[in-house]
Amino acid sequence: MRHDQIPENIAVETSEEFGLSRILVRHDIAIPGSPERCVARVVVADDSAGLWVLERLFPKQADRRESVARAMAKLQAGGLGTVPAYRPSRQGSHVLRKGGWDWQIGPYVPGDRLPQPEYIQHDERGRSLASFITGLQRLGPEASAGLDAVFSLPEYMDDLLVTISKNRPELLTVVQPVREALSELDEAWDELPRSLAHGDFHPLNVIWKGQLVRSVIDWEFCGLRPELYDAANMLGCTGSEDPKFLASGLARAFLVELRQSGVLTTANGRWLFPLFLGLRFAWLSEWLRRSDDQMIEMEMAYMRLLLNNRSDLERIWLS
């Protein structure tokens, strides 16, 4: 989405409804995170309150975005400073209806560039990422009111298999065995202990300050998920840079910290690998949506490699 999709006069008038004043629209500032989470977005500056990201939402996003924003506000108020809570409007809501559109505004947080793929070697990043998950789960019981737990990874995988069988049946030789290997999730899913999860936790959704987490962005998928959901997605994304670093560097420090904080336990550890591999279906879905054949091929190879090395990974991660 281009920044100039929101006319300057609309950006100024809407920002004023959130209590900002003397507003300058900053088309020159790039915005981190996915531009596909809203219709359009732009940075606005307020001389007393700093920089903000104004978003024009898609239709039917308002209720979900309001629930997420309330949860984020509770997390920030509870001491999780890495949550960039949305600014409430003058009416007190976090989503504003104006001019036939729904709007939100949240803080713009500058950060340091993530060095790819070198970051996967950084122990300190792993510890900082784990600390974020620990804080999120500590505050989750109070913050998660109104958020759903309806997402089913087994159903998601099955739906994707149907789509693949219709549109890309040649991929089934790899995907079908992976799905069958994850059948243990089918009966267990509804019984797995839940906690509040970001829902799309990976290094590119982090604003970094050196090797420390400064802020975590793109919260649209947050909700109640199995306890190791965020950890599994993070591992999957770091391993996609170079799978051999699933046993060292960031990944190892990440898991050690999660174990020491009590997030990763003997009881829930058995579900780490199934979640880790199962969430690759979501990434495969993304590459299919984009018709990115190179990434599809890489994902297929990655999934096959992970499945073939399950016992070794579980031994390393859980020992």
Residues 97-144 pLDDT 10s: 999 999 999 999 999 999 999 999 999 999 999 999 999 999 999 999
pLDDT tops 70 at residue 299: yes
Pair 123, 239 in one domain: yes
Pair 314, 192 in one domain: yes
User: Which of 64, 88, 107 lies at the terminal end of a domain, its last residue?
Assistant: 107
Q: What is the pLDDT of residue 217?
A: 98
Domain around 203: 118-318
The residues, ordered by sequence, that sit 6+ positions from 127 with a Cβ below 8 Å of its Cβ are 253, 254, 256, 257
Pair 188, 75 in one domain: no
Pair 163, 50 in one domain: no
Q: What is the pLDDT of residue 2?
A: 42
Q: How many domains does the chain have?
A: 2
- Identify the residue with better confidence: 12 or 49: 12
CATH number at residue 29: 3.30.200.20
Residues 200-210 pLDDT 10s: 999 999 999 99
Pair 181, 275 in one domain: yes
pLDDT tops 60 at residue 93: yes
User: Which of 70, 86, 107 lies at the terminal end of a domain, its last residue?
Assistant: 107
Give the pLDDT band (50/70/90) at residue 49. confident
The residues, ordered by sequence, that sit 6+ positions from 310 with a Cβ below 8 Å of its Cβ are 181, 273, 277
Q: What is the pLDDT of residue 148?
A: 80
CATH number at residue 167: 3.90.1200.10
pLDDT, mean over the chain = 96
pLDDT tops 80 at residue 149: no
The residues, ordered by sequence, that sit 6+ positions from 34 with a Cβ below 8 Å of its Cβ are 218
User: Which of 66, 83, 107 lies at the terminal end of a domain, its last residue?
Assistant: 107
Residues 60-82 pLDDT 10s: 999 999 999 999 999 999 999 99
Residues 160-218 pLDDT 10s: 999 999 999 999 999 999 999 999 999 999 999 999 999 999 999 999 999 999 999 99
Pair 78, 144 in one domain: no
Average pLDDT over residues 142-155: 90
Pair 80, 152 in one domain: no
259 belongs to a structural domain: yes
Q: What is the pLDDT of residue 1?
A: 37
CA 83/CA 216 separation, integer angstroms = 6
Pair 87, 150 in one domain: no
Pair 132, 276 in one domain: yes
129 belongs to a structural domain: yes
Q: Which amino acid is at 113?
A: R
Distances (CA, A) of 21 to 89, 159, 178: 13, 48, 54
211 belongs to a structural domain: yes
Q: What is the pLDDT of residue 278?
A: 98
Pair 160, 76 in one domain: no
Residues 216-261 pLDDT 10s: 999 999 999 999 999 999 999 999 999 999 999 999 999 999 999 9
112 belongs to a structural domain: no
281 belongs to a structural domain: yes
Chain-centroid distance of CA 205 in Å reads 6
CA 151/CA 181 separation, integer angstroms = 20
Q: What is the pLDDT of residue 150?
A: 82
